[in-house]
Structure 1
Amino acid sequence: MSARRNCLALLCLPALGHATTLAFIGPELAGVYQIRNGQAHGELVTLLNQLGKQAGIEWEYRHASPARVELTLQSQPKVCSLLLQGKRQGGNYQVMGGLGRHAIVAYSALHDTLTLSDLDNLPVSQRLGFGTGLKGLLLRQKRLNITEHPSLATAVQLVSLGRARVLLTTQIGMYSLQPTPLLRRVGTVVEADNVLACSPQLPPGVAQGLRKALRNWLIPFAL
């Protein structure tokens, strides 16, 4: 067989595409996002793996606290995570598209009989909130103002000690705290869209593939 025929038979075939590896970071959530012995498990992991197949991406899963997620997106390349829709969109990260919904939940002290209908009557100082973009979201959808707190663990402690009446935050954020906070779940205040957000250094072709896969995404997902 001539060199030309060798080329036609073997070397001139189009190269197969290689999957791009991206890191996905998020807090541990039983049954949804867990990593044990280097293996990731849970409903979110299953969905991300399906999304990755459509977009030509392999995920490297890592744990990160809610407070660290956005900082990591800003500082490390090729990293993605779930964020609340409505968070600021600038040079800190880029939004790929929607991926399910998040529950914003009210929590009170165990002995408190507070109900969702009581929230409007509380002073703003008694309504603590944790989560980037949460204040704007609650103002837009519920006209409910909150006092933002920089630490979820400290906010939980203030409510449990009676120094504030209620804490409003994401359900996934509360589930990530260990040990489990001793607060009473009052109820869901509002649901907000999740977005898959990635670091701004993501290659344009990879970002385009993710956006296209998310536009075709039909599987519902809620946290």
Structure 2
Amino acid sequence: MVDVINVSKQYGSKYVVENVSVSIPKGKITSFIGPNGAGKSTLLSMISRLISADEGEILIEGKRLDQCKSKDLAKQISILKQSNNISIRLTIRELVSFGRFPYSQGRLTKEDWKFVDEAIDYMELKDIENKYLDQLSGGQKQRAYIAMVIAQNTDYILLDEPLNNLDMKHSVQIMKVLRRLTQEMGKTVIIVIHDINFASTYSDYIVALKNGKVVKAGTTDEIISSPVLKEVYDMNIQIHEFNCQKFCMVFN
């Protein structure tokens, strides 16, 4: 479990995240939702220790994040940010092998390559593993980056807007993969996501943020309701159910 306790982050006089406390359940998909500027990505970055909190503390499995050694933390938490600009030309297999760096320090063993091959198979990329990243579609490239994260073999997987610039078909594929990671491999997945329909369909737990603060955190049924979403987004959002799934329609 990840426990965020009274965490704040500010730039100058402006709080980007202010006094946030939330517990993220293990082995589930937790989504951070909210409008632009809500502090979602900043909170995710603090949980991964890409940036430090100015106040408060973050615990992973009961241990303070700031007391973990970087090498050990990289075996426990993996993160995929929105922009992944790699200047060198890589194949899918080469990219995925980067996920083994915390273990191999660049000198991959047979066991490392086993994890690489399993991740490639898991993301159904075997037939194109030798293609270069600049030859891939957006969906294929995103699957390759997620394969790299899978190869890292961490208990916690953090993804910042993994559906960004993907069409509906590829978005569904990615979310189904994340669901499988929790159900088949026991991973804990934490994502920043803008599409509340995808959040409502695939999340187990949702943290709704606004202006750097938590409006409400709870199960999907608790958060995907018209009153909560209206408070978060400042607009009328009606909830409809179809085949036991909730879908949101926005009305100004």
Same fold (TM > 0.5): no
Q: Which has the higher Rg, Structure 1 or Structure 2?
A: 1
Give the TM-score, by structure 2 length: 0.23
